Amino acid sequence: MRRVVIVTLDGLRRDFISEANTPNLIAFSRQAQRFEDYRTVFPSCTRVVSASLATGCYPARHGLQGNSVALMEDGQLVLRDAGDPEFLQHKRRITGSSLAMPTLAERVKSIGGAIIFSNVSPGAAYAHDPDGYGHVYHRAGSFGPGRVPVSVEDRLDVTLDVAGDRRMTERFIDEVLAQRRPAVAVLWLGEPDHIQHEAPLGSPEFFEVLAAADTHAGLVIAAVEKLRAEGDDILLLIGSDHGHETVTGIIDIDAELVAAGLKAGEGSTDVMAVSNGTSALIYVHPDHAGIIPRLRDFFAGQDWVGKFFGLDQLETIGQRPDGGLAFAISMAASDAPNAYGVPGSSLAAKPSMGKPDRLGCGQHGGLAKYEQSPFLMVSGAGFRPGETSDDYARIVDIAPTALRHLGLDASGLDGDALQSVPVEE
Ligand SMILES: [Zn+2]
């Protein structure tokens, strides 16, 4: 039986993978093909990556522009947190679709289905299957086909920490891999992302959690080996969704815009800067589109802006100017090390809701080197065991790779199947 198993260690930077830090991943790399030029999407945020991984498309096509976004509702721009459990259901009512491209869960619904176990934000979990074709398990609610809640005993009630990841992993192995055996099984661990937002990269607390995440990956690797020995043809993809940079400063972009006379006032909806960690999406209400050239000049002159992309450049980063999106900003970043000698520092954009990031801890969302350096290792048919590949690979390649393993059509997506060895059809 052909199956695909996808494991994500949320937020793990490629350069933290080593014999000392992640012995299980290093052992796996001897039987897997390792992609050393693996890139994520913009913004490099979990909800956007989840939607891009599930659809094989960039935000320009699936339509989830950020971890937080502005939606045009009744003629007004409204700030929305895409992590909210109801966000994609709300977005469907407002825009006509939750995600505008089919997910893996939809594509495999009649050939074994998909089961997703996720321990990150509700919005990121549900982005794998917002329209209810398979099963999604999350502490905010677990759903089967038709988005019907599962029974009380079947819920996934786990905490967002190492202990919760452990319980989720054990259940995933015993129940999903060994018994229910879906065509696509996804295990999305909350660590080491969660600790990196709370403690400095390279700190003792960080390494302790990283070791646990590596152990959890090791449990899945061993379980898949056992199933393969029993005859299952499993493609196992283990990777991360983005890396982290160390936050060295917080910029309140809305306040900067007000001070520059480019936004009416705090909380006004003519121009809105929506923080996505170390990046920001700038929305302009169509009635105020005349201000766009002045905004462009303003961003070009700010030292807190690393890179910015206007209306005609959004496409180059996988976005498009829908719903008032006018600019995307990746905050200024450098290779400067943090207190523990870990390279990669960035400014972060202050969120309008919620608390700002902790200085000296990790964040992501932009285009800087380390947040754009997730890892990927793949074992199974079509991949060369033990080989390190310098080929360019992307988050959007995961869905086409999974579809190819399952013998399904993967044409017309933004990504390409990564199998380099001819696979028996
Ligand atoms: Zn993440």
**Contact of 197 with 83, CB cutoff 8 Å:** no
Distance in Å, CA 10 to ligand 1 centroid: 5
- Nearest Cα to Cα of residue 98 among 116, 108, 115, 86: 86
Distance in Å, CA 127 to ligand 1 centroid: 13
**Contact of 189 with 216, CB cutoff 8 Å:** yes
Distance in Å, CA 195 to ligand 1 centroid: 11
* Structure-block tokens of residue 248: 């060295």
Distance in Å, CA 45 to ligand 1 centroid: 6
Distance in Å, CA 419 to ligand 1 centroid: 25
The set of residues, in sequence order, having a beta carbon less than 8 Å from that of 347 and lying 6+ positions away, is 247, 248, 249, 250, 251, 278, 304, 306, 331, 332, 333
Distance in Å, CA 214 to ligand 1 centroid: 16
Distance in Å, CA 46 to ligand 1 centroid: 4
Q: What three-state secondary structure class fits 307?
A: strand
Distance in Å, CA 6 to ligand 1 centroid: 15
pTM of the model: 0.97
Distance in Å, CA 76 to ligand 1 centroid: 30
The set of residues, in sequence order, having a beta carbon less than 8 Å from that of 156 and lying 6+ positions away, is 117, 137, 138, 139, 142, 168, 171
Cα–Cα distance measured from residue 19 to residue 48, given in angstroms and rounded to the nearest whole number: 31
Domains 2-64+99-243+372-405 and 246-363 are alike in CATH topology? no
Tens of each residue's pLDDT in the chain, 425 residues = 899 999 999 999 999 999 999 999 999 999 999 999 999 999 999 999 999 999 999 999 999 999 999 999 999 999 999 999 999 999 999 999 999 999 999 999 999 999 999 999 999 999 999 999 999 999 999 999 999 999 999 999 999 999 999 999 999 999 999 999 999 999 999 999 999 999 999 999 999 999 999 999 999 999 999 999 999 999 999 999 999 999 999 999 999 999 999 999 999 999 999 999 999 999 999 999 999 999 999 999 999 999 999 999 999 999 999 999 999 999 999 999 999 999 999 999 999 877 778 899 999 999 999 999 999 999 999 999 999 998 889 999 999 999 999 999 999 999 999 998 776 55
Fold topology of 246-363: Gyrase A; domain 2 (3.30.1360)
Helix (H) or strand (E) holding 377: strand 376-379
Distance in Å, CA 279 to ligand 1 centroid: 14
Distance in Å, CA 290 to ligand 1 centroid: 36
* Structure-block tokens of residue 376: 């990927």
**Contact of 320 with 337, CB cutoff 8 Å:** no
- β strands within 97-254, DSSP E: 114-118, 135-137, 143-144, 148-149, 184-189, 233-239, 245-251
- Nearest Cα to Cα of residue 150 among 170, 176, 169: 176
The set of residues, in sequence order, having a beta carbon less than 8 Å from that of 126 and lying 6+ positions away, is 85, 87, 88, 136, 138
Distance in Å, CA 241 to ligand 1 centroid: 5
Distance in Å, CA 391 to ligand 1 centroid: 23
Cα–Cα distance measured from residue 88 to residue 96, given in angstroms and rounded to the nearest whole number: 10
**CATH H-level, domain 2-64+99-243+372-405: superfamily:** Alkaline Phosphatase, subunit A (3.40.720.10)
Cα–Cα distance measured from residue 112 to residue 184, given in angstroms and rounded to the nearest whole number: 8
Distances (CA, A) of 130 to 60, 71, 140, 216, 346: 18, 17, 14, 27, 32
Distance in Å, CA 301 to ligand 1 centroid: 31
Distance in Å, CA 11 to ligand 1 centroid: 5
**Contact of 156 with 163, CB cutoff 8 Å:** no
Distance in Å, CA 99 to ligand 1 centroid: 19
The set of residues, in sequence order, having a beta carbon less than 8 Å from that of 365 and lying 6+ positions away, is 43, 44, 45, 67, 275, 276, 277, 278, 279, 348, 349, 371
Number of H helices, E strands in the chain: 12, 20
Domain boundaries, the chain: 2-64+99-243+372-405, 246-363
Distance in Å, CA 293 to ligand 1 centroid: 33
Query: What amino acid occupies position 297?
Result: D
Distance in Å, CA 67 to ligand 1 centroid: 10
